[in-house]
Amino acid sequence: MPAKSQQGAQSVSVALVGSGGAGVMTAGTILLDAAAKAGWYGLMTRSVGPQIRGGESAALLRLSTTPVECHGDSFDVLIAVDWQNFTRFAKEVPLSAHSVVLADPAAGAPPATVVDIGLQIIDVPMQEILKKVAGGRPNMLALGLAAAVLGVPDDIVTKVVERRLGKKGGEALESSLQSVQAGRAAAPALDGRFTLAPAADATATRWLMSGNQAAGLGALRGGVRFVAAYPITPATEVLEWMAPRLTKLGGALVQAEDELASINMIIGASFGGVPSLTATSGPGYSLMAESIGLAVAAEVPIVVVNVMRGGPSTGIATKSEQADLNIAVYGLHGDAPHVVVAPTSIGDCAVTSQWAVHLAEKLQTPAIVLSDQFLGQAQAVLSPPVDTGEGPDRLINAAPQAPAARYEVTESGVSPMTIPGVAGGQYISESLTHNIRGRPSTLADDHLAQIEKRQRKLSTFDYGERWADIDGDGPIAIISWGSCCAPIREAISRLNGGGKDLRLISLRLISPVQPERMAEALNGVKRALIIEQSHSGQLYRYLRAYYDLPKDTQCYHRPGPLAFTPGEIRDQIARMQ
């Protein structure tokens, strides 16, 4: 049930469902955009069926007076244009006895599972109403209904519809606007139960973006100017967002023939001196493993964004899971230390990917960004993620003395690099075990010296405070990462007393481990709970391998595809308290 005050609700969840492809998604996007303009924050995810096009789909929105990055325990309002295949994604649209359903009786009776909840079902004769609108659109009618119920101002909705659908031309636009109005007119009076309160900082700048776009932006901010990639769900939008923008920045994106090519193309480009990135998901990441190891051994900076989806194998391409932690951390043959970072929120995809570029360049190593489908494909209205100002700070030897010692053993472990074109700096970037000059060697001493150097540069680097976000200082620590962080934050804030006995550690730096910082972060902690979306508890096992965790450490983990809800997590925490 939405918290309701005199000023209206703090947050409201609305699901727009209906078959026929993009219809409800368009309505949802307009609603989200309008809400942003009206000063609210918000989140929209989509649920699609197996059909490539035209199958069932649902736009799942949550609008809020404060920043919001997860859905609630149940949806307040469900607007069903039709019920086609609703059962397929019913679990993604949890409803409660307090929910309200607006549905067209002409589209058939609501499914028994919905009726049985005992919620309020209000008939809205949508098809009937639309008969009166020339070219009437059910999705726009649903938009009008939702806007009315939530109290999103008319003029703002109209403006957004005009901007977004304007290119469709006069008549189409006109019937859309009329459908919206018809929806508004048909909306039932619900005592303002779902009307949103005004946002506290309604005039502050808001951005509407997905995590995948944010990751692209962060990479460009960090200095990436070359991308090679092979399309894969749910990472393709990172690439499709970057492609046209790179050409405007003087960079380039090459669609490679496969992931083996894309990873090697970026290694080549980075060897040439240009900060480079690829984006993929589990199956593609697996194919890149051998050559990520090459970048480790040859010490070539690269960034690989893995937007995790359900696994194993082809798995569930359109849904989220956090089960690629193992392969990201441990998935290279030989001893091959490298950097793994993970965004802690949708907006943080920008900050974390910018940081990844910086770390890769600074440490001359691959940096893996482990995002996930939820973060990547959710659309959010959020405060603009900061530009950290960090760029590709590569240690370059601009005036080399021959013979070049490309792999010189230095105290920091970082060896100055020369860039092709510069005389006297020639060297071979080498995949074989090599000596300081990059000459192949099978000597134990050379092998050890280079292996130690590569470990040292990672272990001794000062990653600063950004390794994790730490909230609270209670004796019970929750450790988590990625898209799990948002529902955990909400669960904590809901707990009695604002969860004062809790402390949340949202990890951003997964590898290398930070034992000292963790010890400090766990100072005073008696019990710990690790929360993650994997069946085998990958994060828990990893932390256990490398950190000294409190004796009483538990792990709550389960696979995808369903996202965690704040309520589900609150129950887990309550059990600890």
Partner 1 sequence: MNVESTAALKACMPADYKSDVKPVWCPGCGDYSVLLAMQKAFAELGTPPEKIALITGIGCSSRIASYTTCYGFHGVHGRALALGTGVKVARPDLTVVVAGGDGDGFSIGGNHFLHACRRNPDLTYIVMDNQVYGMTKGQPSPTTDPEWQSALAPGGTGIRPFHPLVIALASGANFVARCFSGDPNGTAQTLVEAIRHPGFSFVQILSPCVTFRPEQKEWRKVVHPAPVEATDDPARAARRIMSDDNFNIGILYRGSRPPYRPKQSETKIAVADLEREFAT
Ligand X SMILES: Cc1ncc(C[n+]2csc(CCOP(=O)(O)OP(=O)(O)O)c2C)c(N)n1
The residues binding its own copies (CB under 8 A) are 49-50, 88, 91, 260, 282-283, 285-287, 289-290, 293-294, 296-298, 310-316, 318-319, 321, 323-324, 326-327, 329-337, 431-433, 440, 442-444, 447-448, 451-452, 455, 534-536, 538, 541-542, 544-546, 558-562
Three-state DSSP class for residue 184: helix
For partner 1, the binding residue among 102, 146, 298, 363 (CB under 8 A) is: 298
Of residues 430-489, those binding partner 1 (CB under 8 A): 430-432, 439-440
When asked if residue 200 is in the footprint of ligand SF4 (CB under 6 A), the reply is no
- 244, two tokens: 């046209």
112 binds ligand SF4 (CB under 6 A): no
- Rounded CA separation 516/400 (Å): 37
Contact residues for 184 (Cβ-Cβ < 8 A; gap 6+): 144, 145, 147, 148, 154
For the CB of residue 449, give the shortest distance to ligand X in the complex, in Å: 23
CA distance 315 to 308: 11
The answer to whether 144 and 30 are in contact (CB under 8 A) is no
539: which 2 tokens? 């994060």
Q: Nearest distance from residue 533's CB to partner 1, in Å?
A: 23
Determine, following the binding rule CB under 6 A, whether residue 50 of this chain makes contact with ligand SF4. no
d(CA 62, CA 217): 24
Cα 5 to Cα 1, 2, 11, 194, 410, distances in angstroms? 12, 9, 11, 11, 62
Cα 505 → chain centroid: 18
- Which residue among 239, 328, 356, 549 contacts partner 1 (CB under 8 A)? 239
| Token pair recorded at residue 392 | 């590709």
SS3 at position 209: strand
Query: Closer to partner 1 at the Cβ: 11 or 236?
Result: 236
Among 52, 200, 398, 444, the residue binding ligand SF4 under the rule CB under 6 A is: 52
* 15 to 54: interface string for partner 1, x by CB under 8 A: ------------------x--xx------------xxxxx
Q: Which residues pair with 63 in a beta bridge?
A: 12, 42
Nearest CB to its own copies, comparing residues 117 and 263: 263
Q: Which CB, 186 or 513, lies closer to its own copies? A: 513
Contact 92, 113 (CB under 8 A): no
Q: Which is nearer to partner 1, 391 or 475 (CB)?
A: 391
Question: What distance in Å separates the CA atoms of residue 548 and residue 514, rounded to the nearest whole number?
Answer: 11
Per DSSP, 7 falls in state T
Query: Is residue 464 left, alpha or beta, with left meaning phi > 0 and alpha meaning psi from -120 to 50?
Result: left
Q: Which is nearer to ligand X, 167 or 333 (CB)?
A: 333
- The distance of closest approach from Cβ of residue 295 to ligand X in the complex, given in angstroms and rounded to an integer, is 15
Q: Give the one entry of partner 1, ligand SF4, its own copies, none that residue 159 binds, where binding means its C-beta sits below a cut-off of 5 to 8 angstroms depending on kind.
A: none
From the list 36, 73, 38, 75, the residue with the least C-alpha distance to 59 is 75
Contact code string over 510-539 relative to ligand SF4, x by CB under 6 A? ------------------------------
Beta strands 95-103 and 379-382, pairing class: unpaired
**Does 364 engage in binding with partner 1 (CB under 8 A)?**
no
Question: In terms of CB distance, is 251 or 293 closer to its own copies?
Answer: 293
Query: What's the CA gap between 212 and 350, in Å, rounded?
Result: 9
Chain residues in the site for ligand X (CB under 6 A): 230-232, 259, 283-284, 287, 314
Q: Minimal distance in Å, beta carbon 151 to its own copies?
A: 34
Angle at the Cα of 438 from the Cα atoms of 434 and 440, rounded to 5 degrees: 40
* Residues 142 and 16 sit within 8 Å (Cβ to Cβ): yes
3-state secondary structure of 262: helix
What is the Cβ-side half-sphere exposure of residue 555, based on CA atoms within 13 angstroms?
A: 18
The least distance separating ligand SF4 from the CB of residue 24, rounded to whole angstroms, comes to: 19
Minimum CB distance to partner 1 smaller for 90 or for 252:
252
- The residues in 380-399 that bind partner 1, with binding defined as CB under 8 A, are 381, 384, 387
Q: How far is the CB of 186 from its own copies (least distance, A)?
A: 33
Query: Which option in ligand SF4, its own copies, ligand X, none does residue 285 bind, with CB closer than 5 to 8 A by kind?
Result: its own copies
d(CA 120, CA 102): 9
Residue 423 engages ligand SF4 in binding (rule: CB under 6 A): no
- The answer to whether 283 contacts partner 1 (rule: CB under 8 A) is yes
Regarding 269 and contact with partner 1 (CB under 8 A), the answer is: yes
- Is 444 a binding residue for ligand SF4 by CB under 6 A? The answer is no
Q: Which does 130 bind (CB under 5 to 8 A by kind): ligand SF4, partner 1, its own copies, none?
A: none
Residue 318 CA to residue 463 CA, distance in Å, equals 33
- Residue span binding partner 1 (CB under 8 A) among the ranges 61-69, 132-140, 427-435, 551-559: 427-435
- Which residues contribute to the site for ligand SF4 (CB under 6 A)? 52-53
